[in-house]
């Protein structure tokens, strides 16, 4: 079982770079990169809320559950 992070898909839909998102959300580029690559072990709801607000998406657009 795995949680897949689709941040790159949502960024592409908005034609936004990770750097732009970092500046708008107020999260370091390195932390967003860790999230984007799926290496994050957790995400705060405040962070998820901020990302969704900037990208105008739902949490389910960013996170996906896949069975192995």
> What phi and psi values does residue 66 have, to the nearest 5 degrees?
-130, 135
pLDDT for 43 equals 94
Each residue of 5-62: pLDDT tens digit? 999 999 999 999 999 999 999 999 999 999 999 899 999 999 999 999 999 999 999 9
pLDDT for 68 equals 78
pLDDT for 1 equals 58
Is the pTM of the predicted complex or chain greater than 0.85? yes
Burial (CB < 10 A; 0-12, 13-18, 19+), residue 18, is middle
Structure tokens belonging to residue 62: 């960013």
Question: What domains, with CATH codes, occur in the chain?
Answer: 2-66 (1.10.260.40)
């Amino acid at each position: 079982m795995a949680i897949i992070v689709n941040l790159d898909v949502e960024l592409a839909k908005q034609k936004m770079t990770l750097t732009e998102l970092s500046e708008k959300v107020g999260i370091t580029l390195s932390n967003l990169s860790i999230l984007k690559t799926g290496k994050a072990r957790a995400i705060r709801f405040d962070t998820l809320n901020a990302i969704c607000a900037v990208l105008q998406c739902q949490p389910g657009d960013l996170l996906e559950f896949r069975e192995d």
